């Protein structure tokens, strides 16, 4: 079957299976960036229509976060929320204005809250309110990574085709080895999910199984420099 005849899921599997596919690899010191795991997107049946490609997604994210804390590595959580006026959403928030529109995720609202299943340590984890797709856009993320001497960014969250992809592109552009934890990211449908996993794999990031990321973190710093 030609690649052009395959579904996004099949295309991604075919790209991932290429034996000669080069990787960026893990670097010397990682940080975990968990993107927008908030009720606006994860509360299926209340707000979200679908946001899960692996039923254990949040369990896996929690495990990675626990490992990073145990190693003294940065754990970063981002969420999207806007002023009551919505003006800080800019042009991004102008296409529609319905109760579930982007600009109507208000600061302090239930939709802005992190999912209750997450284990967040507010005494040491870093929490960033971002307004645009990339968590690097007009936030202090870059300076935090510089302060911690980070060279590897591990990404979880959603959506794969939106904020995860935007983070991966900017992370690579800023010189970081970029790792997307496969079972830890999700989208509204498998078409954008697998299409963007394939594209990130080809261009911007290593898309690694959760188990590979977990084992790297469990072995850190003994794993430092591993490719």
pLDDT attached to residue 200? 97
Residue 5 CB: number of other CB atoms within 10 A? 8
d(CA 160, CA 152): 19
| % of the chain exceeding 90 in pLDDT | 75
pLDDT attached to residue 63? 98
Parallel/antiparallel/unpaired status of strands 206-208 and 152-158: unpaired
97 has pLDDT over 90: no
Mean pLDDT of the 149-163 span:
97
pLDDT attached to residue 169? 98
Q: Is 163 designated active site?
A: yes
Two tokens at 182? Answer: 């496969």
Domains of the chain, CATH where assigned: 26-219 (3.40.50.850)
d(CA 197, CA 81): 26
Nearest to 67, CA basis, from 227, 198, 220, 224? 220
Cα angle 171-160-11, degrees, rounded to a multiple of 5: 105
Mean pLDDT of the 31-36 span:
98
* CB proximity list for 188: less than 8 A, separation 6 or greater: 49, 50, 51, 159
Residue 159, preceding peptide bond in cis (omega within 30° of 0): yes
pLDDT attached to residue 78? 98
83 has pLDDT over 80: yes
4 has pLDDT over 90: no
- pLDDT by residue (tens digit) across 168-226? 999 999 999 999 999 999 998 899 999 999 999 999 999 999 999 999 999 999 655 44
Nearest to 58, CA basis, from 74, 29, 36? 36
> Is the CB of residue 70 less than 8 Å from the CB of residue 160?
no
Question: What global pTM score does this model have?
Answer: 0.93
- Please give the helix or strand (H or E) that residue 76 lies within, else none: strand 75-80
> Is the CB of residue 47 less than 8 Å from the CB of residue 40?
yes
């Amino acid at each position: 079957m030609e690649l052009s005849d395959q579904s996004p899921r099949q295309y991604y599997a075919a790209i991932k299976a290429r034996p000669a596919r080069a990787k960026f690899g893990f670097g010397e010191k990682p940080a975990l960036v968990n993107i927008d795991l908030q009720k606006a997107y994860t509360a299926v049946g209340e707000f979200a229509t679908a946001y899960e490609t692996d039923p254990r997604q949040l369990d896996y994210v929690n495990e990675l976060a626990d490992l990073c804390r145990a190693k003294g590595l940065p754990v970063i959580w981002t969420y999207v929320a806007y002023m009551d006026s919505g003006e800080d959403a800019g042009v991004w928030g102008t296409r529609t204005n319905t109760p579930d529109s982007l600009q109507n995720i208000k600061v302090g609202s239930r939709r802005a809250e992190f999912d209750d299943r997450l284990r967040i340590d507010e005494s040491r984890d870093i929490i960033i309110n971002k307004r645009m797709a990339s968590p690097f856009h007009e936030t202090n993320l870059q300076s935090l990574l510089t302060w911690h001497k980070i060279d590897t960014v591990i990404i979880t969250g959603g959506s794969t085709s939106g904020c995860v992809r935007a983070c991966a592109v900017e992370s690579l552009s800023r010189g970081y080895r970029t790792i997307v934890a496969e079972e830890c990211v999700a989208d509204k449908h498998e078409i954008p999910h697998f299409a963007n996993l394939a594209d990130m794999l080809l261009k911007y990031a290593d898309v690694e199984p959760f188990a590979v990321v977990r084992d790297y973190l469990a072995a850190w710093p003994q794993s430092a420099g591993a490719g």
